[in-house]
A and B are shown apart, each in its own frame.
Chain A
Amino acid sequence: MILLAARNPIIRWSYLVEQSDRIQGAIVEHLQLTLLPVTIGFVLSAVLAAIGLRYRWTVGPITLFAAFLYTIPSVAFFAVLRTTALGTSIFTVLIPLTGFTILILVTNILDGFRAVPAAVREAADAMGMTPARRVITVEVPVAVPYMINGLRIATVTIVGLVAVAGIVGRGGLGNLILEGLRRQFWTPLTIGASLSILLAITLDLAYYLLGRWLTPWSRTRRA
């Protein structure tokens, strides 16, 4: 053991080759466990935001509920669901992760629609647009930068939280990190942590590019 510890560098490069299948699998799982909750969360948030915009009094309760979900410690959330019938199924991970995205996404979507200038809305009405057409062709596009912003924050947050789900055995790169911790073997920990950071940066960049592509008009601002 002493010998092994002495020969325990931050990273042992051969591990990358030997365990390449496992590492690849971990990346794919991490990506799935990030994008799935963000996508489901976005759909749910869009519905909640639509309700909030239609019935203003619901904004308070919706935000309060989303904030409540956000405050639950992720470790506890995973652990509790692990004891239910869900066990170690993917839902034990998906449900908390989705819950954590709601607050970020709902507030950003609402901000996006609130950012549509009253004059733009009035002009749309005065040009004879139906309310549905106004929402789809004017309000949604104007709100897009805010939505992208929400998605960026939610995604980067979830990339970090997926690793925590390693405690129920479904943590993507988190599994590698936990294994390294348990075995006092730094290589999988280093690889898991670095790839998790790299994944977050890559996804962040992807959203940035998506935003630029979707909103050519906000690139050209004079001010």
Chain B
Amino acid sequence: MDGDVDRPAIRFEGVTKRFPGTTGDAVSDLDLDIERGTIVALIGPSGCGKTTTLKMINRLLEPTKGRIEVEGADVGTQEPVQLRRGIGYVIQQVGLFPHRTIGANIATVPRSLGWDKAHIEDRVAELAEVVGIETQMLSRYPDELSGGQQQRVGVARALAADPPVLLMDEPFGAVDPIVRGRLQDELLDLQQRLHKTIVLVTHDLDEAIKVGDRVALLNVGGVLEQYATPDELLRAPANRFVERFVGEDRSMRRLALATVGDLPFEPGPVVDASADVATGLAVIDEHRSDWLGLVDDERFLGWIPREELAPGASLRELERFLPAAQVEPASTLRSALEVIMNSRTSVAVINDDGRFRGTVTLERIRAGLAGDLGGPTEHAA
């Protein structure tokens, strides 16, 4: 199953699905390549065939036309039972077996595969740790767990035999928003370590943008409208449908998605502490700023107001104001915006663990939104 690296982990070629007794296609002529080790979110309005698309990958549904490859092999030619044991599957209602303990639930696929008992036990314990289920929970039954815990067990069960591909059908749809957010973060954490190829169906645009490396937006009848990174989807919707789907506040969504670290480096009205006042004045004139920042050995020392910059004085000796407005490279543009709005200098200093990494202004953020900003993958790397 390790296939060559250039080949996508999952490939749809002209896949059409029409259910018997219906007039329209559920999925029509879909071509889609899903890169190995990435998360692709399938999203769209009801009836767009996103779940149908997902279920054709492990042959819970059969395409009417076309071909689906997983790790280079046509799924249509494989025994469904064997195929499915090699593909993890997580659904919204979790579907844990109520009569089996949590441990036995997680062990389902390894047991089918005939692993020996000790190996299964080790694996179950390992997975419990990975998804954050306490060991004493393993002997309990699903009904004793909260919705969030059940969903973690569902993920552990799907990962049990270490499948390279994981299919998730609205995995976090049934839990409350706070737990959902936490489970999404956990999924991203997990993905950092496991590098699975994950196909995730969701109806929640925020979820698609947050967890997807790429988003496939489908229209009713299973028509692929756009397949792009979250930032590209928000920045450059391919058509009116996509534009309407992502909403009028798509710039705000991009602010929540991109981070300060995605912006190109920009020092701003800042000089080294060894510079003279004339140089300082030139710099703040250039930036049309009323404040001059001082940096010494990558450390930001503070802001000096323009009126204090008397000729002949030494910059080091002037009274400085330490900035309240500080952000980190990992801060979202949205939180940077909040900081800037509340700052006297209209400039936020990027402080990366004590080291000066440039400045952010409203203008910089606006310019950033006009261009191509990185998605979650880029700044996670």
A127-144: CB near B (< 8 Å → 1, else 0) gives 111100100001001101
Are A222 and B144 in contact, CB atoms less than 8 angstroms apart? Answer: yes
Are A120 and B143 in contact, CB atoms less than 8 angstroms apart? Answer: no
- Shortest Cβ gap from A141 to chain B (Å): 4
Separation of A120 and B150 alpha carbons in the complex (Å): 13
Query: Is A71 an interface residue, CB under 8 A from the partner?
Result: no
Query: Is B120 an interface residue, CB under 8 A from the partner?
Result: no
Question: A residues within 8 A CB of B245?
Answer: none
Are A128 and B83 in contact, CB atoms less than 8 angstroms apart? Answer: yes
Which of A18-26, A192-200, A213-221 interfaces with chain B? A213-221
Are B82 and A126 in contact, CB atoms less than 8 angstroms apart? Answer: no
A126 in contact with B96 given A217-B143, A220-B141, A220-B143 (CB within 8 Å): no
Question: A residues within 8 A CB of B195?
Answer: none
The one of B84, B140, B141, B144 that contacts A128, using a Cβ cutoff of 8 Å: B84
Separation of A149 and B339 alpha carbons in the complex (Å): 65
CB-contacts of B58-95 with A (<8 A): 58, 60, 80-85, 87, 89, 91-95
Which of B97-105, B261-269, B313-321 interfaces with chain A? B97-105
Question: A residues within 8 A CB of B112?
Answer: 127-129, 133
The one of A126, A141, A217, A220 that contacts B84, using a Cβ cutoff of 8 Å: A126
Query: Is B109 an interface residue, CB under 8 A from the partner?
Result: yes
Question: B residues within 8 A CB of A16?
Answer: none
Are A122 and B84 in contact, CB atoms less than 8 angstroms apart? Answer: no
Question: B residues within 8 A CB of A221?
Answer: 143-144
Separation of A129 and B58 alpha carbons in the complex (Å): 13
- Shortest Cβ gap from B98 to chain A (Å): 6
Separation of A141 and B105 alpha carbons in the complex (Å): 14
A217 in contact with B141 given A127-B85, A127-B108, A128-B112 (CB within 8 Å): yes
Are A120 and B97 in contact, CB atoms less than 8 angstroms apart? Answer: yes
Are B100 and A217 in contact, CB atoms less than 8 angstroms apart? Answer: yes
A122 in contact with B95 given A217-B143, A220-B141, A221-B143 (CB within 8 Å): yes
Question: A residues within 8 A CB of B85?
Answer: 127-128
A120 in contact with B96 given A125-B60, A128-B82, A128-B85 (CB within 8 Å): yes
Question: A residues within 8 A CB of B97?
Answer: 120, 123-124, 138, 142
Separation of A130 and B94 alpha carbons in the complex (Å): 20
Closest to A138 in B: B97
CB-contacts of B117-173 with A (<8 A): 140-144, 157, 167
Question: B residues within 8 A CB of A117?
Answer: 93, 95
Separation of A141 and B101 alpha carbons in the complex (Å): 13
Q: Number of contacts between A and B (CB, 8 Å)?
A: 82
Separation of A117 and B97 alpha carbons in the complex (Å): 9
The one of A122, A142, A217, A218 that contacts B60, using a Cβ cutoff of 8 Å: A122
Question: A residues within 8 A CB of B108?
Answer: 127, 129
The one of B80, B93, B144, B157 that contacts A220, using a Cβ cutoff of 8 Å: B144
Closest to B145 in A: A222
Closest to B91 in A: A119
How many of chain A's residues touch chain B, expressed as a range?
Answer: 20 to 34
- Chain A interface, >50% SS class: helix
A84-127: CB near B (< 8 Å → 1, else 0) gives 00000000000000000000000000000000011111111111
Question: B residues within 8 A CB of A144?
Answer: 99
Separation of A133 and B97 alpha carbons in the complex (Å): 13
- Shortest Cβ gap from A45 to chain B (Å): 21
The one of A123, A129, A130, A215 that contacts B99, using a Cβ cutoff of 8 Å: A215
Separation of A155 and B44 alpha carbons in the complex (Å): 54
Closest to B143 in A: A221
Question: A residues within 8 A CB of B144?
Answer: 220-222
Separation of A122 and B84 alpha carbons in the complex (Å): 12
Are A120 and B95 in contact, CB atoms less than 8 angstroms apart? Answer: yes
A126 in contact with B143 given A119-B94, A120-B96 (CB within 8 Å): no
Question: A residues within 8 A CB of B89?
Answer: 123, 126-127
Question: A residues within 8 A CB of B92?
Answer: 119
- Shortest Cβ gap from A5 to chain B (Å): 60
- Shortest Cβ gap from B167 to chain A (Å): 8
Most buried by A among B83, B87, B98, B143: B98
- Shortest Cβ gap from A39 to chain B (Å): 24
Question: B residues within 8 A CB of A122?
Answer: 60, 91, 95
A125 in contact with B96 given A221-B143, A222-B143 (CB within 8 Å): no
List 20 other contacts, CB 8 Å, given A138-B97, A223-B143.
Answer: A119-B95, A120-B95, A121-B95, A122-B91, A123-B91, A123-B94, A123-B96, A123-B97, A124-B97, A126-B87, A126-B167, A127-B84, A127-B89, A127-B112, A127-B157, A144-B99, A215-B99, A216-B141, A218-B143, A220-B140
Mark A residues whose CB is within 8 Å of B. Answer: 117-130, 133, 138, 141-142, 144, 215-218, 220-223
Mark B residues whose CB is within 8 Å of A. Answer: 58, 60, 80-85, 87, 89, 91-101, 108-109, 112, 140-144, 157, 167
Report, nearest first, the 6 A-B pairs whose CB atoms are least far apart. Answer: A123-B95, A119-B95, A119-B93, A128-B85, A126-B89, A128-B84
